[in-house]
Amino acid sequence: MTEPDIPSAYVRDKRTAPPSREELRARIPGWGADLDPADRPSHPKLQYPADTGAHWDFPDRQPGSAGRERSIEHAFVTPVFGTAQPLHGLSGSIRRLAYDRFSEGRLAHWLLLIAGDRVDAWGSHLRSFATASPDNPVTETGVRTELTHGGLRSRAGRSDRRHHVLDPLLVAGPWVAGAGFGALAVRRLARVLRS
């Protein structure tokens, strides 16, 4: 390798200079409109906005915070909070334990919340079967778009096909396993009742 062939990383300056401003402006709409780093919206990182629209020093407190779960890294339930899907049942107890016992810095906090999510999902699925609108894994997964939106054609040549094949297993697997355990339990119960 002769000296002019030695790549930029091994010498003082880049071998190839960037295109000129004129060339870039001719090719790219708006090139350089935010060229000055000190004149960009998020510079500096900390800046005091002239007016945020807030007309309070501390916001009015939203009613209903008593008993609302919160991170123990907070001093109190924040003055405004979401009220969607309050804690309930077994999943609620698991989630409350995560909030009451473990800070956000502890892995147990997050693992308990994930466990609560799965219990919530299973409980909801089971409860849905006692309603007029039971969960339907076909309509709720939108899987019919595999036919209407080119499932095979769209994936041709893509490397992510390798893990897409797992998705049906992730969705249907627990249902199949649940049905299997259910059938076993029913058989065992029938045997016990017969004997």
Give, as ranges, the residues between 83 and 102 that touch another protein (CB under 8 A): 83-85, 91, 95, 99
How far apart are alpha carbons 45 and 4 in whole angstroms? 42
How far apart are alpha carbons 187 and 136 in whole angstroms? 26
How far apart are alpha carbons 145 and 73 in whole angstroms? 44
In the complex, minimum distance from the CB of residue 87 to another protein, in angstroms, rounded to a whole number: 9
**Under rule CB under 8 A, which residues in 160-179 are in contact with another protein?**
160, 162-164, 166-167, 170-171
User: For residue 120, how many other CB atoms are within 10 A of its CB?
Assistant: 19
Residue 131 in the binding site for another protein (CB under 8 A): no
Among 93, 100, 124, 177, which residue sits at the site for another protein (rule: CB under 8 A)? 124
Among 90, 108, 121, 183, which residue sits at the site for another protein (rule: CB under 8 A)? 121
**Under rule CB under 8 A, which residues in 26-65 are in contact with another protein?**
27-35, 37, 40-43, 45-49, 52-60, 62-65
CA angle 79, 81, 87 (to 5 degrees): 130
